[in-house]
Structure 1
Amino acid sequence: MKTASRAPVLCIVGPTGVGKSHVGIEVARAVGGEVVSADSMQVYRGMDIGTAKVTQSETQGVPHHGLDLVEPNESFTVANWVTHADVAIAGIIRRGRLPIVVGGTGLYIRAIVEDLDFARQAGSASVRAKWEAYLLEHGSAQLHRRLCEVDLTSANRLHPNDTRRVIRALEVAELRGQELSQTYEWRAKGGRYNAVQVGLVMDRAALYRRVDARLDAMVAAGLDAEVRQLLDTGCTRNTTAMQAIGYKEWAAYVTGETREEEAVAAIKQATRRLAKRQLSWFLRDERVHWFTVDQTGALSANDFQTICDLALQITEGIELARRE
């Protein structure tokens, strides 16, 4: 593989619950890397159980970046994440190690791979506020129907409960008179990093069973107390962080709108839908090297070695990047 002076980055992507975090840690240990989280909800402090954030012991000593960056009631955009990721990657390169970006937030990965500048995507606070008020008055289903009227492409991609992104799509449509999907360049061009993408997949039925089991484990680990703590410390139901899958459904249970078993079922269904959307997103990129994990999230020895070999092929670019 031809190397370049661009800093090398290994990206490990795939649907939620497939085992990306574990594989990222194992690869980092094998090749001398550090992990940069590409999860839009793990940036929030105090949201650990419901986001499946890795624990200190689970990291096995591998440094992690991109976790616990802001409070749940603070705004955090793709542009904010790109700024943080750039700083983290530069530091990792200076230490002579390989940056391994791990996560399922498609726009975060795309920003690294394609050098997208979301800071240039101007918004309007007044327009956003209007749609947020509309959400409060009419609910997420009606908000999503409004998006269907002006941007069916984005509406088909976004779940009605993903109100933050639905509002963003409505905002863009109103301000620019064009669909959100038309404001981004999806053609593979390459960015400022020498990025190699590794994708993890699992038999769908096995993945759904794994998702269900993980949610049961979250409940047993204290999801209820975590959500109550967030609500008690000032997070409202409309806070962006509280729109995360698992939190909004459990908050409805805490406030007496649903029963516990209904919240559990809703979270499992929403998580399965998220996994499907994430997989569809990453399958659009033909540059992703796909590997199948078993029902426990483990790779075969041969596939693990192949991923490590892909990582090692770009590590010689670390020294070139350090000299610039």
Structure 2
Amino acid sequence: MTKKQSGRTKLLVLLGPTASGKTRLSLSLAQTYGGEIVSGDSMQVYRGMDIGTAKATPEERRLVPHHMIDILDPDEPFSVADFQETARREIQAIADRGRLPMVVGGTGLYIESLCYDYRFTEAGSDEAFREEQHRFALEHGAGALHTRLAATDPATAAKLHPNDTRRVIRALEVAHLTGVPLSEHLAGQTKEPLYDLCLVGLTMDRALLYERIERRVDQMMEEGLVQEVRRLREAGYADSLVSMQGLGYKEIAAYLRGELTLNDAVALLKKSTRRFAKRQLSWFRHMPDIHWVDVTEQVNFPQQLQIIHAIIAGKL
């Protein structure tokens, strides 16, 4: 069954920082509950960006249907509002098939906007202002633009990576147009769940998480991350694209431009990914209703599954 007496669709959400083991658990849970997986990752929507985004492998996708993966070319714009609309359609279609929709990922804003009655500000746009901010970033660097946002809206700045120029500019634009920081607009959200939600969060010892991140980066390099980024650039995708500013792509592109040695690029990628995981956890800690499961002891996978099954039984 995919609905409760409330009439709301059941939705299982598995979230956690990068490299915490979501993929393995999600496949097991989907097979147990007749689920289909909706990616909650802001980068996996892009075709040709497989290694750096740690997409489920073709073999894994044959085991369980996956959605919101490979739906756009890297130069196509895709906002969180676009994600919300598209993913909600996928969730409804899965439920209509009598299957259990499962959202799996680590992009906190995307997942939160999907699960709750999350309405985006209707501030409109100011193209001249956007262009002005973009020129400022090109001239002074993304860090300087981020510092400008921190002075205007420190709460939003704390959640955005300095290299996420598009979202930094949008936050500045909202404040410019409305006189109210984006964080205050978001704080006014009621966050009423749209689904019968079961949110399961994965957590682990921070040192182990960082060790797993470093191993994952090493594995990405072995799998051909440099070749993947080179192919994208040769296909005409500019380094300035939002997609190409993603973790892994930005650092390797800098190496390919001759700005970093390969060792320095890898070290920077590991450092940036550790920081990203910290921001993910910070975001999730402020989300309501998450049932946290400690997966530090990887050998206890069967026991962890039992804990998650008990959580699901109590919610869905």
Note the alpha carbon deviations across 1:57-92, whole angstroms, 9 max, x for none: 123510000101111011001111111111111111
How far is the alpha carbon of 1:142 from its aligned partner? 1.2
* Partner Cα distance (2:50, 2:157) in 1: 29
What is the aligned counterpart of 1:273 among 265, 272, 275?
275
* Partner in structure 2 of residue 32 of structure 1: 34
Superposition misfits of 4+ residues, deviation over 6 angstroms = none
* Partner Cα distance (2:306, 2:117) in 1: 29
SS in 1 for 2:207: helix
What is the aligned counterpart of 1:254 among 253, 256, 268?
256
Q: Once superposed, what is the RMSD of the aligned Cα atoms?
A: 1.9
* Partner in structure 2 of residue 137 of structure 1: 139
How far is the alpha carbon of 1:245 from its aligned partner? 0.9
How far is the alpha carbon of 1:109 from its aligned partner? 1.1
1:207·1:295 contact (CA, 8 Å) conserved in 2?
no
What is the aligned counterpart of 2:16 among 14, 27, 42?
14
* Partner in structure 1 of residue 187 of structure 2: 185
Change (3 A) 1:90 1:119: farther
Matched, 1:114 2:105: no
How far is the alpha carbon of 1:187 from its aligned partner? 6.5
2:159·2:283 contact (CA, 8 Å) conserved in 1?
no
1:49·1:226 contact (CA, 8 Å) conserved in 2?
yes
SS in 2 for 1:99: strand
* Partner in structure 2 of residue 284 of structure 1: 286
Note the alpha carbon deviations across 1:268-317, whole angstroms, 9 max, x for none: 00100010010011111241000011364x654233123234435555xx
1:15·1:278 contact (CA, 8 Å) conserved in 2?
yes
Deviates more, 1:30-39 or 1:182-191: 182-191
Gaps of 5+ in 1: 316-324
Note the alpha carbon deviations across 1:196-240, whole angstroms, 9 max, x for none: 110000111010010000001101101011101111111112101
* Partner in structure 2 of residue 70 of structure 1: 72
Deviates more, 1:60-69 or 1:154-163: 154-163
**% identity of equivalent residues:** 46
Change (3 A) 1:64 1:299: farther
* Partner Cα distance (2:291, 2:244) in 1: 33
| Structure of higher RCO (CA pairs closer than 8 Å, 6+ residues apart) | 1
SS in 2 for 1:123: coil
* Partner Cα distance (1:204, 1:252) in 2: 28
* Partner Cα distance (1:219, 1:146) in 2: 35
Letter of the 1:27 counterpart: L
* Partner in structure 1 of residue 312 of structure 2: 311
Deviates more, 1:166-175 or 1:262-271: 166-175
Note the alpha carbon deviations across 1:24-74, whole angstroms, 9 max, x for none: 111001111000000000011110000001111123510000101111011
Letter of the 1:307 counterpart: I
SS in 2 for 1:128: helix
What is the aligned counterpart of 1:4 among 6, 9, 22?
6
Letter of the 1:35 counterpart: I
Note the alpha carbon deviations across 1:147-172, whole angstroms, 9 max, x for none: 12211222223222222222221121
Matched, 1:194 2:172: no
* Partner Cα distance (1:149, 1:112) in 2: 29
Gaps of 5+ in 2: none
Letter of the 2:305 counterpart: F
1:292·1:299 contact (CA, 8 Å) conserved in 2?
no
SS in 2 for 1:100: strand
* Partner in structure 1 of residue 173 of structure 2: 171
Letter of the 1:305 counterpart: Q
* Partner in structure 1 of residue 52 of structure 2: 50
SS in 2 for 1:191: coil
TM-score (norm 2): 0.93
Change (3 A) 1:167 1:3: same
* Partner Cα distance (1:91, 1:236) in 2: 35
* Partner in structure 1 of residue 216 of structure 2: 214
Deviates more, 1:82-91 or 1:213-222: 82-91
1:45·1:69 contact (CA, 8 Å) conserved in 2?
yes
Letter of the 1:306 counterpart: I
* Partner in structure 2 of residue 321 of structure 1: none
Deviates more, 1:298-307 or 1:228-237: 298-307
* Partner in structure 2 of residue 301 of structure 1: 302
Change (3 A) 1:314 1:295: closer
* Partner in structure 1 of residue 226 of structure 2: 224
SS in 1 for 2:187: coil
Letter of the 1:302 counterpart: Q
Deviates more, 1:105-114 or 1:156-165: 156-165
Change (3 A) 1:119 1:56: farther
